[in-house]
A and B are shown apart, each in its own frame.
Chain A
């Protein structure tokens, strides 16, 4: 049984590292979201509703949707990584870099799924967990 806390701990560290270093580009100055201040209502059944659209979270999440884009604008290294010039000479996003970013997102989600699956109460059955993905 001692392996379980170890597994949880290592997955947590890994997820945290992916999140801060890869997904948030290691920018420590980004205003951190304070999870304890966020409100959620799991009974909201409207289309497209989530804690992101919950009115009471709006003040906390203001401008967060384009925060990474703005960060990219201010960092020449990131711009060099994510932007490329297409055949017409226009700037566009580098599809390979976006694919790699998306792969990191999936990796992060996988680790989060394991953490939620193991730590949030009784583990749920395979059809239940995989039907929501």
Chain B
């Protein structure tokens, strides 16, 4: 769009000129200080800026810049700063004269405006040209909290009114509204309620020029067409929360994902369900009696406790230490022909890694419980023919038996302190997951199906639908995903070692023999087992992430003034210091 238009109509120009003269500006000079002449061009630019870009609101007594959708701070320095910047780009006489003209209006100061909005009782009429936002207001009497962020409103309730945000479902604690703020600068935002007026259609001026009314049939058709537009938008939003495979789109293929076949395994599943399938309840939730599934809670607690016990067997500081360098070497001999050449299993982990690794394994147990063990299989089918993970995963009879036993024990045991038998049942279940020959159908294994689930990352969308936040998912970067595989591999090694120690507790000398047998059969790259596949995937992904181009690239904007990077940017400034800003 042309920001500066040439020569506006004469009558308006005369009005501006008259107004300038009334303000004491001379045709040739500006009140003594500036002696440059204001030429015709300056007048026309000022005219444009004044009548097209700014509107004075006499009720609120402030000026709105319609181009930026925000108010102008009523100080000469702030006005000038605004006029110098984009999109006005004024300078010299033009800047001076426009600023003087703007400041000549009767304007409220920031403090006065703040006081004015405080006195407003209920929503006022929306200010023309000022940006309007969807937001929320607190229903508590006398509370003036207004925000555009639902999370902030949810936090506000317990913090200020000592009311849990969940109470909102019973009695509304906040309501949706339209908000405006005079200024958008940092520290100056002060939202006030405005009436929810439907925006005037941008083509409204055309209606005046053509007065032929719509017939009934035409009206019906247009209403249908507008409903279609809305429906398409809603469908697009829904589609964004579903996993798509590559189909025939050559440009959308991501080679590593195609090789690992994750998109095909999770095709058409909803991201919200994928997230909830492996959602780990917080310690607080687990501790509550109201936690929906006490059996799952007991299984989760026992899994964490079992893994912690297993780590004790390796820890240098533990009196029960069973790990030796030789055993560590056997555990790590997972590549073909590795005898004696591999580095030992690095059992020491920092506390934070340990928590992350154990959480990943616990998520695997939750995934099995929700998706494989439960009858409904967690995922909903959009079409009857759609294959969900429960259809693909084929647990072995030993896995099924072990899980049944775990659930029976978890149901029986009410005392969490001594759950040795539950832990042993879990130990057997874990080993049955590891010792599983899958052949050429990797996703028969619950572990490998879980790996595909781990490949998704989720982002909370900003769109609020019925107070729910839209969730969109995308595939993780190969390097990031590989860290999950490391977590699974390490924990599986720990579990094998734990099982060996438990199995051979009467004759400790048999531990290396047991380890060798299991590792050679199920835990090396040439085995067609879950970890055989995982080890191959890791090799492939190490190579892939090495060759990957940087995902995020800096790009110059079209006007070559700004370098953009991940939604932010650095703008070129004629002054020596570059200015960083958030776009």
Query: Which residues of A come within 8 Å of B, CB atoms?
Result: 27, 29-37, 39-43, 45-49, 55-56, 59, 62-67, 69-77, 79, 83, 85, 89-93, 131-132
Contact = CB atoms under 8 A, between A and B. Distances in A.
Interface stretch (B166-174, B205-213, B382-390, B483-491): B205-213
B221 A91 contact: yes
B226 A66 contact: yes
Nearest to A49: B240
B462 A55 contact: yes
Contact of B210 (A62, A76, A131): A76
Contacts of B229: 65-66, 69
Nearest to A68: B203
Contacts of A48: 236-237, 239-240
A73 B218 CA distance: 8
Closest 6 CB pairs of A and B: A91-B217, A76-B212, A31-B202, A74-B207, A32-B1, A74-B206
A31 B203 CA distance: 8
A92 B215 CA distance: 13
A93 to B, nearest CB: 7
22 contacts: A29-B206, A34-B1, A34-B87, A42-B555, A46-B459, A47-B239, A47-B244, A47-B472, A48-B239, A63-B202, A64-B202, A65-B233, A67-B203, A69-B222, A70-B203, A75-B206, A76-B212, A77-B210, A85-B217, A90-B221, A91-B217, A91-B218
B202 A56 contact: no
A57 B316 CA distance: 57
Nearest to A44: B567
A83 B226 CA distance: 15
Contacts of B552: 43
A131 B564 CA distance: 25
A33 B1 CA distance: 7
Nearest to A131: B251
A132 B251 CA distance: 6
Interface residues of B, number: 50
A83 B221 contact: yes
Given A42-B555, A65-B229, A85-B217, A30 B202 contact: yes
B474 A46 contact: yes
A131 B583 contact: no
Contacts of A69: 222, 225-226, 229
Contacts of A56: 583
Contacts, number: 109
Contacts of B218: 73, 79, 83, 91
A77 B212 CA distance: 10
Interface centre among B201, B209, B559 (most CB of A within 10 A): B201
Nearest to A59: B131
Contacts of B462: 55
| Residue with the highest number of chain B CB atoms closer than 10 Å, among A41, A45, A85 | A41
Contacts of B233: 65
Contact of A71 (B203, B214, B566): B203
Contact of B583 (A39, A59, A85): A39
A46 B564 CA distance: 19
Contacts of B222: 69, 72-73
Nearest to A27: B206
B86 interface: yes
Interface in B460-491: 462, 472, 474
Nearest to B475: A45
A90 to B, nearest CB: 6
Contacts of A64: 202
B74 interface: no
B131 A43 contact: no
Contacts of A70: 201-203
Contacts of A41: 564, 566-567
A68 B397 CA distance: 63
A69 B230 CA distance: 13
A62 B201 CA distance: 10
Contacts of B205: 29
A64 B233 CA distance: 13
A6 B305 CA distance: 75
B6 interface: no
